Amino acid sequence: MEFLVRTENTLPPDTPDDVREELRARERERAMELRAAGVLRRLWRVPGRGATIGLYEAADPAELHDALVSLPMWKWMDITVEALATHPQEKAP
Amino acid sequence: MEFLVRTENTLPPDTPDDVREELRARERERAMELRAAGVLRRLWRVPGRGATIGLYEAADPAELHDALVSLPMWKWMDITVEALATHPQEKAP
Amino acid sequence: MEFLVRTENTLPPDTPDDVREELRARERERAMELRAAGVLRRLWRVPGRGATIGLYEAADPAELHDALVSLPMWKWMDITVEALATHPQEKAP
Amino acid sequence: MEFLVRTENTLPPDTPDDVREELRARERERAMELRAAGVLRRLWRVPGRGATIGLYEAADPAELHDALVSLPMWKWMDITVEALATHPQEKAP
Amino acid sequence: MEFLVRTENTLPPDTPDDVREELRARERERAMELRAAGVLRRLWRVPGRGATIGLYEAADPAELHDALVSLPMWKWMDITVEALATHPQEKAP
Amino acid sequence: MEFLVRTENTLPPDTPDDVREELRARERERAMELRAAGVLRRLWRVPGRGATIGLYEAADPAELHDALVSLPMWKWMDITVEALATHPQEKAP
Amino acid sequence: MEFLVRTENTLPPDTPDDVREELRARERERAMELRAAGVLRRLWRVPGRGATIGLYEAADPAELHDALVSLPMWKWMDITVEALATHPQEKAP
Amino acid sequence: MEFLVRTENTLPPDTPDDVREELRARERERAMELRAAGVLRRLWRVPGRGATIGLYEAADPAELHDALVSLPMWKWMDITVEALATHPQEKAP
Amino acid sequence: MEFLVRTENTLPPDTPDDVREELRARERERAMELRAAGVLRRLWRVPGRGATIGLYEAADPAELHDALVSLPMWKWMDITVEALATHPQEKAP
Amino acid sequence: MEFLVRTENTLPPDTPDDVREELRARERERAMELRAAGVLRRLWRVPGRGATIGLYEAADPAELHDALVSLPMWKWMDITVEALATHPQEKAP
């Protein structure tokens, strides 16, 4: 099933640049693994903010939760999830 | 998977009593079928309101959607759904 | 550019079934045209509600506006739009 | 009587892992005691967040309050409680 | 147990005065019965609005719900309920 | 005149227990004085939270303000006040 | 004591002009009486809206409520009231 | 001084097309007059909605109010206004 | 023109009393200057909070902004401003 | 395309004045570059707050995002962006 996932970055602004960059690099690496595993399908930026909107696919909410918690930035993200229902139009021939 | 489902009754207050009662009877009948099918697991009233909180189980959000739409009151209900993730504590021996 | 579009159906519950069905059929037909034109990319249902979340692509907000207004249900929809920024991860090799 | 209880974890992200783990272990232990006592009936995770939704049973709001305050994490949780009314359907034969 | 109950009057402004007065009289009569039964303990007006704040006492939320539904104005009131926990100070000698 | 007063405790969770206890003892002492003076009439806990709902009586909002500011916890409380109007039912014989 | 009073006009847009004008004239007349009685002290418009912000003075919230209910537009106004506390600066020599 | 003005169209969806078109034509005509008078400076559409964001210039809020009320659609618009302060950067050489 | 100005004090509760008192004294001094200059016309306390509601008069929003920034507490205040339109009733003979 | 951009300054109030001034000077310098590049078109202050409303022009949301991130204050700003659709009136002869 698919989920719409919003993240807001809550990392304090005074975080040293090297810590920030190291976190970002690890975050990107883990995100790429989730893409490879078919869990993270699309990712957008909310313009102007340290925030993203993502389209995820997982077997159920618990599996999605585990994927999001596995992100190195998780402790510094405010995340909200919406479960999406497939629309009949999507199955149109 | 489980869902927390809130409903707010939006039936106009001037609905004739017989229409209201007939809808309520059909609603109850369909709800009982959903219970028998294992879709509706628990139902509570929000005290003081024409509103309920329900615990549902369905294969995915689309199946839940179909179950809710099948309720005779659906057109007169404002419904919000939260997908629930199983908590590890629930699996404790 | 891409947009996240939410719609809430505000059609009165006492709309006659034939009017409702005729609108729905025309809505679906127009949506299919927008899909064919590459404007409507994905569509999901918000479970439990007469509501959708869609992923659209258009040259700019004015073109998106025209596409949404062309939907037969437009007068009975409360629509909110978010402009999405491409995330650098999407361009990763 | 039953209560729907939401918790949001407000523990600072820079809490040392050992402090966090020790708190989590004690929290789990106390939660298990509340389950054994019939106070905590069900627990779910809100996917993506350090948050839970729980179904509790207590004689009255004061007894529920005491149960929640007894959780080791209480000082780092933002908790909201809704009192639930039994729905007549639940008594159906 | 005690409950804080807010009501907002949603009776349409064009309700004929005699209907309004007849409803108000019946509402008052029923409220007085609830006072006599010890269910309605205090009642205040929210200044400037057709709204009240009441202190109720009932065995549980279901009993409170039945009391509120018994009010003739119930279909034209938007009601919200908060369950109150006795504060230890109240038991002070 | 009467006021409905909500307080949310904003004392940091890492406040040392002795500071917390000393504040709580002084708070209780002052609250008891306000009770004796007829200013604090009733006090409830919002279940699950470091929060209260109180019924106060004071000559006017300025006098109420002075009473609330006199509470030792005042600097660590987020307080909201509603002025209540006496309901005609309360004067019923 | 003083109150800040906000009103939002909820008169339906299709109200005939003569009904609207007659109501407005009576509203103005009653407002002028409240000014003469020292109850309505200042009145502003919220620019762009059928809405006002007023400064009222009354012995208590119940007296203010009676003054507001006496306005011919009352049934078509959504009103919110804030009780104001005199600021010590106002008493400065 | 400048104002940011948001409008939401509240015209009922079942308004006959000729009434709607006639209103729209008169609205446009009046808007063009306000442009010519230097009151309406810029106008944008909120994509997907019958809503606009406008930049207005007027001597004061009362003059702006009169300009907005002069729009034929005014009774069917929910309008909010923000007064803007000139930013020092705007005066930079 | 007139403005309604709300302030919320955000000074940390652990600010030393002498710093707090020194700020308050300077704040009062500057407020008195703004009164003498006809900028600050009325000031009220929001009961129970470190918050005020003020009636200001200034040539335009930029002048008001400068007056508010000149307050020594400005950096520790969350301020919201509403521009008020003179109501025709105020000009009544 | 055009965007309406709101910023709220979240720089801690206890930031040393020289750090604050240095940031402000660099912010102004970068803003002037964005003006010269045709990205920042207009800028207003929200009166009373460390907040701005700006009119920006950029090829798409990603380009706007890059412009906003290039501001030295970016880490200390809470930014929200609205994509604006050109209104047909703007093209009127």
Residue D36 main-chain phi, psi, to 5 deg? -60, -35
Residues of chain H with pLDDT under 50: none
| The pair of three-digit structure tokens given for residue A42, joined into one six-digit string | 């699309």
Determine the residue type at C80.
T
**Residues of chain B contacting residue D84, judged by C-beta atoms under 8 Å apart:** 44-47, 53
Residue C93 predicted with pLDDT over 60: no
Task: Note whether D42 and D54 are within 8 A (CB).
Answer: yes
Residues of chain F with pLDDT under 70: 92-93
**Residues of chain E contacting residue B46, judged by C-beta atoms under 8 Å apart:** 81
User: For residue D89, what pLDDT is reported?
Assistant: 87
Model confidence pLDDT, tens digit, residues B30-63: 999 999 999 999 999 999 999 999 999 999 999 9
Which chain D residue has the Cα nearest residue B49?
Answer: D85
Q: Are strands H51-57 and H2-9 parallel, antiparallel or unpaired?
A: antiparallel
Task: Report yes or no: F65 at the I interface, CB cutoff 8 Å.
Answer: yes
| Mutate which: B2, B57, B63, B75, vs C, most C CBs within 10 A | B75
- Fold for domain B2-82? Alpha-Beta Plaits (3.30.70)
Contacts of H83 (CB under 8 A, 6+ apart): H1, H2, H3, H61, I3, I61, I81, I83, J47
CATH of domain D1-50+72-84: 3.30.70.1060
User: For residue I39, what pLDDT is reported?
Assistant: 98
- Fold for domain E2-84? Alpha-Beta Plaits (3.30.70)
User: For residue F90, what pLDDT is reported?
Assistant: 85
Task: Note whether D92 and D29 are within 8 A (CB).
Answer: no
d(CA C67, CA C47): 24
Distance from CA of D25 to the nearest CA of B (A): 11
| Mutate which: C20, C44, C49, C76, vs B, most B CBs within 10 A | C49
Which chain A residue has the Cα nearest residue B86?
Answer: A62
Determine the residue type at G63.
E
d(CA E8, CA D22): 47
User: For residue B89, what pLDDT is reported?
Assistant: 87
- Segment C49-72 shows an average pLDDT of 98
H47 → closest Cβ in C64, C76, C78: C64
Ordered alpha helix ranges (H), chain D? 17-36, 61-69
SS3 E24: helix
User: For residue F58, what pLDDT is reported?
Assistant: 98
- Binned at pLDDT 50, 70 and 90, residue B27 comes out as very high
Determine the residue type at G26.
R
- Binned at pLDDT 50, 70 and 90, residue E89 comes out as confident
User: For residue D90, what pLDDT is reported?
Assistant: 85
- Segment A11-27 shows an average pLDDT of 96
- Fold for domain J2-7+19-77? Alpha-Beta Plaits (3.30.70)
Model confidence pLDDT, tens digit, residues E10-53: 999 999 999 999 999 999 999 999 999 999 999 999 999 999 99
The mean predicted confidence, pLDDT, of chain A is 96
Q: Per the CATH hierarchy, to which homologous superfamily does domain C2-85 belong?
A: Dimeric alpha+beta barrel (3.30.70.1060)
Residue A93 predicted with pLDDT over 70: no
Which chain F residue has the Cα nearest residue I11?
Answer: F75
Which chain D residue has the Cα nearest residue B24?
Answer: D89
User: For residue G92, what pLDDT is reported?
Assistant: 57
First to last CA, chain D: 21
Model confidence pLDDT, tens digit, residues G23-43: 999 999 999 999 999 999 999
Residue C77 predicted with pLDDT over 80: yes
Residue D34 predicted with pLDDT over 70: yes
Ordered alpha helix ranges (H), chain B? 17-36, 61-69
- Binned at pLDDT 50, 70 and 90, residue D93 comes out as low
d(CA B15, CA A79): 42
Three-point CA angle D14, D16, D20, nearest 5°: 105
- Fold for domain G2-79? Alpha-Beta Plaits (3.30.70)
The mean predicted confidence, pLDDT, of chain E is 96
**Residues of chain A contacting residue D43, judged by C-beta atoms under 8 Å apart:** none
- Binned at pLDDT 50, 70 and 90, residue B91 comes out as confident
Task: Report yes or no: C79 at the H interface, CB cutoff 8 Å.
Answer: yes
Model confidence pLDDT, tens digit, residues C7-34: 999 999 999 999 999 999 999 999 999 9
**Residues of chain D contacting residue E81, judged by C-beta atoms under 8 Å apart:** 83
Task: Report yes or no: G76 at the E interface, CB cutoff 8 Å.
Answer: yes
User: For residue J92, what pLDDT is reported?
Assistant: 57
Q: Are strands B2-9 and D2-9 parallel, antiparallel or unpaired?
A: unpaired
Which chain C residue has the Cα nearest residue J61?
Answer: C85
d(CA E28, CA H87): 58
Distance from CA of B66 to the nearest CA of C (A): 8
pLDDT in tens, chain I (93 residues): 999 999 999 999 999 999 999 999 999 999 999 999 999 999 999 999 999 999 999 999 999 999 999 999 999 999 999 999 999 988 755
CATH of domain H13-85: 3.30.70.1060
Contacts of D82 (CB under 8 A, 6+ apart): B46, B53, D3, D4, D5
Distances in Å between the Cα of E90 and the Cα atoms of B11, E43, E44, E86, F45 are 42, 20, 21, 7, 10
User: For residue B29, what pLDDT is reported?
Assistant: 97
d(CA G23, CA G21): 5
Distance from CA of A1 to the nearest CA of J (A): 29
Query: A2-78 is classed in which CATH architecture?
Result: 2-Layer Sandwich (3.30)
User: For residue G34, what pLDDT is reported?
Assistant: 98
Model confidence pLDDT, tens digit, residues J21-46: 999 999 999 999 999 999 999 999 99
Contacts of A5 (CB under 8 A, 6+ apart): A52, A53, A54, A55, A56, A64, A68, A79, A80, A81, A82, D48
Within the 27-56 window of chain D, which residues sit less than 8 Å (CB to CB) from chain B? 28, 31-32, 35, 42-47, 52-53
